[in-house]
Homo-oligomer: A and B are copies of this chain.
């Protein structure tokens, strides 16, 4: 039931306060849509990364769009620490829900399955758990030794926001082997997608492409965005622009530098 729209109209449909889930840096990050969200001055987002964020999170935090952030980490990789993220946490200007990679995968899987929680090993004795009053420790009812186990509540994002190479006219979306995008889309109420291309042939009709296709049942809106991951890469299509990312990290060390960089790059396309 996907609606085909423009990038800025898609961003308009993402309301203030929405719980958005974004993919990790190595995979299909919709930076063009992030710029569109910043242009429309979205406020109070609850931003979840599945499970690690990078420049997408730093941009939205720097632009004042984020109220709450949940991630296992925010990193600019080789380029260093994420400057707007670090400052926002250090100044307590966003609420941070520190997590760990498998806990986020698990909470999304719980939503995907429509169950209220899922258990996960580990965690016990960590300050990650100690700072998550929403997580519960119970006695494992299947353990003869009555050991503890953590239960993680399901997280149902309002919107999963992703970029991919290709969609078809029916609204089916190619995701290839990036199956964390499948979990995100299944877990979320709906999925908004930016794409490089839209093709006429139905992706589900050829088993080779069907295998890596997210069916339109999960998709709410599709908009074209050429090089929609820039300055990040899109696997098999274009590589990350390391120079631009390094320049960003340098510029964004101050809020003024961040805003200058943003003005130069967040232009309507």
- Report A's interface with B, CB cutoff 8 A: 106, 109, 113-121, 136, 138, 140-143, 149, 151, 153, 176-177, 207-212, 235-236
Contact = CB atoms under 8 A, between A and B. Distances in A.
Contact of A207 (B114, B136, B236): B236
A143 B212 CA distance: 36
Contacts of A212: 207-208, 211-212
B116 A140 contact: yes
B149 A142 contact: no
Contact of A115 (B120, B176, B235): B120
Contacts of A118: 113, 115, 118-119
Contacts of A210: 176-177
B106 A113 contact: yes
Nearest to A138: B141
A257 B109 CA distance: 47
Contacts of A208: 208-209, 212
A136 B153 CA distance: 19
Contacts of A140: 116-117
A207 B177 contact: yes
Given A142-B153, A211-B211, A212-B212, A119 B121 contact: no
Given A115-B119, A117-B140, A176-B210, 4 more contacts: A106-B113, A114-B121, A115-B120, A208-B212
